[in-house]
Amino acid sequence: MADRFYSVVKGEHLPSQVTEGSSTSSEAIELRVNDSVYASKLDVILGLRAILAYLESRETSPIA
């Protein structure tokens, strides 16, 4: 098991523009998933939804 990194360059919005790899790409927006902890795709999706809800409802800086 290993980490998976998903990254996107600022301004890109399409799924085809997401980069997936086994190491960081050092982009501004990046997600690391430890697949030894999150073995289920559903678990990752639910976690992402929680992060999205947090950013939409509570985060004010520096993303605002």
What is the distance of C-alpha 61 from the center of its chain? 18
User: pTM score, two decimals?
Assistant: 0.76
* pLDDT of 63: 61
Do the domain assignments include residue 50? Answer: yes
Residues sharing a CB contact under 8 Å with residue 22, sequence separation 6 or more, in sequence order: 2, 3, 4, 5
Do the domain assignments include residue 13? Answer: yes
Do the domain assignments include residue 64? Answer: no
Do the domain assignments include residue 62? Answer: no
Count Cα neighbours of 28 within 13 Å in the Cβ-side half-sphere: 6
CA distances (Å), origin 31, targets 9, 27, 53: 12, 10, 16
Provide the domain limits for residue 39.
Answer: 3-57
* pLDDT of 64: 53
Task: Tell me the two tokens of residue 15.
Answer: 């799924």
Average pLDDT, the chain: 86
Do the domain assignments include residue 27? Answer: yes
Do the domain assignments include residue 63? Answer: no
Q: What is the pLDDT of residues 3-29, one digit of tens each?
A: 899 999 988 889 999 999 999 988 888
Do the domain assignments include residue 46? Answer: yes
pLDDT at residue 61 is higher than 60: yes
